[in-house]
């Protein structure tokens, strides 16, 4: 097993930076299905560029490099304890090299372990099989989409869809509801792994396992194959679209398993994965630990680029240039749908920082500034005393988590903008109106694209206390593109899309049973 650690390191590198061909193909089709001038089309153009950049530069596709889950099949006699140890070494090394963000947080103390290791991290599922080789599959699933997983206990009554019974139509309604409730918060277009039946815990596990199926395979069970095809067609008619901006593509895959259940229980468990659907696998020689073959890839088929030379996201000249600090007048002039280009200071702040901001006073003056919901991947370069930070990945995180804090944070610190992805709720919308601020939507997962818009790090607060992703990073932004989706006049694109897609959900989902 001399090469096993390096093989695992390569598997982690490739999974984090290079989307598998089936996902690329699905995203390429999504790009073709949206008109370039629409918000969904513009978002997909940025996503496409981001996917290509990540592969070219071997940088993480998304700054949230996800929770690592390994599924490992071993021949009789393979030493699982050695494998665990070498995988953990590979994870720590991948973190050190900036291919994984330090993402493992102690749930009691809130302390980030700094190397992606800790109780329960990573997750392993070992299975013995008749094969001669070791098969290792890895999925890196981020928090934004993980938070949109959902489990239904049928019969139940669903918003917009009414009763879901214990039959296939009830299951269909639950899955459509799962797509609708996610809106853009899980970085649509997404892929679903579904389990019908089992118990609560195993149902989720089996649902996640479905995500290991290639997007273009066909279910061996004809009933489930039909359900998968129906969901793909129906869910894409609901119109959630890329990032929840509205559009033709909400789902790039739906894979369903059925498992036996107790007579008293009937769960439908849904694992939602985002467009940054990072999973790969390798076959390993058990003697040397070397990779003998990649799974999901065809050696004959070169990596398909998403965006051709000269294409991709294009500025129209109608973008509004923002240079913080912003005045109230500037901000009140913005309206939903405006595309902005930010040049100047930008400060990050996410979950732990929002909590901190309300319980302490920050030394940094944020009046007129934009707070960016982002936990970047940062790399320290050079040797002391000449070290500097480099931004390795810096897309937005899901803003709705800050909903309990944001209105108070805007008021206390005099912010003129908050920026993230997926939109925010009524309390924040009211604060934007009252205090004169806007919500800006950056494109979820576009971590490489946005890292290039943050070429200069001018400072960092609370790094030791909060760790890399949660610290407040001070950047100098250059042509950072975002869309106004909630303005200072009470308008919210997210509320509008939620309403219109709810109407569509009703139309598509009801009356088939
Ligand atoms: S693409 Fe979006 S949901 Fe997926 S890991 Fe990145 S931020 Fe999270």
Q: What is the DSSP string of 363-391?
A: SS--TT-EEE----EEEEES-TTS-EEEE
For the chain, helix, strand, coil in percent to 5 are 35, 25, 40
378 touches 393 (CB < 8 A): no
pLDDT at 510: 86
DSSP 244: G
- Sequence-ordered alpha helix ranges (H) in 345-459: 351-359, 403-413, 426-435, 447-451
> In a structure prediction context, what are the per-residue pLDDT tens digits for the chain, which is 513 residues long?
999 999 999 999 999 999 999 999 999 999 999 999 999 999 999 999 999 999 999 999 999 999 999 999 999 999 999 999 999 999 999 999 999 999 999 999 999 999 999 999 999 999 999 999 999 999 999 999 999 999 999 999 999 999 999 999 999 999 999 999 999 999 999 999 999 999 999 999 999 999 999 999 999 999 999 999 999 999 999 999 999 999 999 999 999 999 999 999 999 999 999 999 999 999 999 999 999 999 999 888 888 899 988 888 989 999 999 999 999 999 999 999 999 999 999 999 999 999 999 999 999 999 999 999 999 999 999 999 999 999 999 999 999 999 999 999 999 999 999 999 999 999 999 999 999 999 999 999 999 999 999 999 999 999 999 999 999 999 999 999 999 999 999 999 999 999 999 999 999 988 654
272 touches 279 (CB < 8 A): no
pLDDT at 274: 97
What is the position in ligand 1's atom list of the atom closest to the CA of 146? 3
Ligand 1 centroid–CA 67 distance in Å is 11
Testing ligand 1's pocket by substitution, the residue of 142, 240, 447 carrying the most ligand atoms inside 8 A of its CB is: 142
- Sequence-ordered alpha helix ranges (H) in 183-241: 200-210, 222-238
346 touches 387 (CB < 8 A): no
- Ligand 1 pocket, CB under 6 A: 62, 64, 66, 142-145, 186-187, 274, 276, 395, 397, 444-445
4 touches 289 (CB < 8 A): yes
Angle at CA of residue 348, ends 454 and 144, nearest 5°: 100
Ligand 1 centroid–CA 445 distance in Å is 5
- Sequence-ordered alpha helix ranges (H) in 257-402: 328-332, 351-359
Report which protein residue has its CA nearest ligand 1's atom 7: 445
pLDDT at 332: 98
Ligand 1 centroid–CA 220 distance in Å is 30
Q: Which residues does residue 446 pair with via DSSP β-bridges, in sequence order? A: none
370-372 vs 339-348, strand pairing mode: parallel
pLDDT at 512: 55
Report which protein residue has its CA nearest ligand 1's atom 4: 274
Ligand 1 centroid–CA 188 distance in Å is 9
Q: What is the pTM of this model?
A: 0.95
Testing ligand 1's pocket by substitution, the residue of 44, 62, 372 carrying the most ligand atoms inside 8 A of its CB is: 62
pLDDT at 278: 98
pLDDT at 184: 93
pLDDT at 511: 62
């Amino acid at each position: 097993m001399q090469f096993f650690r390096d093989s695992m390191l390569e598997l982690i590198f490739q999974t984090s930076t290079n989307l598998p061909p089936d996902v690329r193909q699905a995203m390429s089709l999504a790009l073709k299905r949206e008109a370039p001038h629409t918000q969904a089309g513009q978002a997909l153009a940025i996503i496409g560029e981001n996917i290509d950049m990540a592969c070219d530069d071997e940088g993480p596709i998304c700054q949230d490099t996800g929770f690592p889950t390994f599924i490992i099949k071993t021949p009789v006699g393979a030493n699982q304890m050695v494998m665990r140890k070498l995988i953990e070494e590979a994870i720590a090394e991948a973190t050190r090299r900036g291919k994984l963000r330090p993402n493992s947080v102690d749930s009691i103390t809130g302390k980030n372990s700094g190397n992606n290791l800790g109780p329960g991290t990573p997750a392993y599922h070992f299975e013995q099989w008749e094969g001669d080789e070791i098969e290792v599959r890895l999925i890196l699933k981020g928090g934004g989409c993980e938070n949109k997983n959902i489990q239904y206990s049928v019969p139940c009554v669903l918003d917009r869809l009414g009763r879901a019974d214990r039959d296939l139509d009830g299951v269909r309604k639950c899955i459509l509801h799962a797509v609708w409730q996610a809106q853009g918060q899980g970085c649509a277009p997404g892929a679903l792994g579904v389990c019908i039946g089992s118990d609560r815990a195993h149902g989720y596990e089996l649902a996640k396992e479905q995500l290991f199926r290639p997007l273009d395979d066909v279910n061996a069970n004809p009933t489930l194959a039909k359900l998968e095809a129906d969901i793909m067609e129906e869910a894409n008619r609901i119109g959630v679209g890329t990032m929840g901006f509205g559009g033709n593509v909400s789902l790039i895959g739906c894979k369903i398993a059925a498992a036996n259940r107790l007579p008293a229980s009937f769960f439908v468990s849904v694992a939602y994965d985002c467009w940054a659907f990072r999973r790969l696998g390798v076959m390993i020689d058990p003697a040397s630990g070397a990779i003998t073959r990649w799974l999901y890839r065809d050696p004959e088929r070169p990596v398909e680029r998403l965006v051709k030379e000269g294409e991709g996201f294009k500025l129209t000249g109608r973008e509004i240039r923002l240079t913080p600090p912003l005045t109230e007048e500037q901000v009140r002039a913005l309206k939903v749908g405006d595309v902005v280009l930010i040049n100047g200071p930008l400060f990050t702040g996410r979950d732990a920082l929002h909590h901190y901001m309300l319980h302490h006073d920050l030394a940094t003056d944020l009046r007129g500034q934009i707070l960016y919901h982002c936990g970047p991947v940062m790399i320290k370069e050079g040797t002391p005393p000449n070290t500097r930070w480099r931004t390795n990945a810096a897309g937005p995180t899901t803003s709705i988590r800050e909903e309990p804090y944001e209105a108070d944070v805007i008021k206390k610190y005099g912010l003129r903008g908050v920026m993230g992805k997926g939109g925010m709720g009524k309390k924040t919308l009211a604060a934007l109106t009252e205090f004169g601020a806007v919500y800006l939507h950056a494109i979820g997962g576009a971590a490489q694209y946005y890292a290039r818009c943050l070429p200069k790090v001018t400072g960092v607060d609370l790094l030791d206390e909060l760790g890399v992703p949660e610290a407040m990073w001070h950047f100098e932004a250059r042509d950072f593109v975002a869309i106004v989706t909630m303005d200072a006049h009470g308008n919210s694109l997210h509320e509008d899309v939620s309403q219109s897609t709810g109407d569509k959900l009703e139309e598509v989902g009801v009356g088939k049973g």
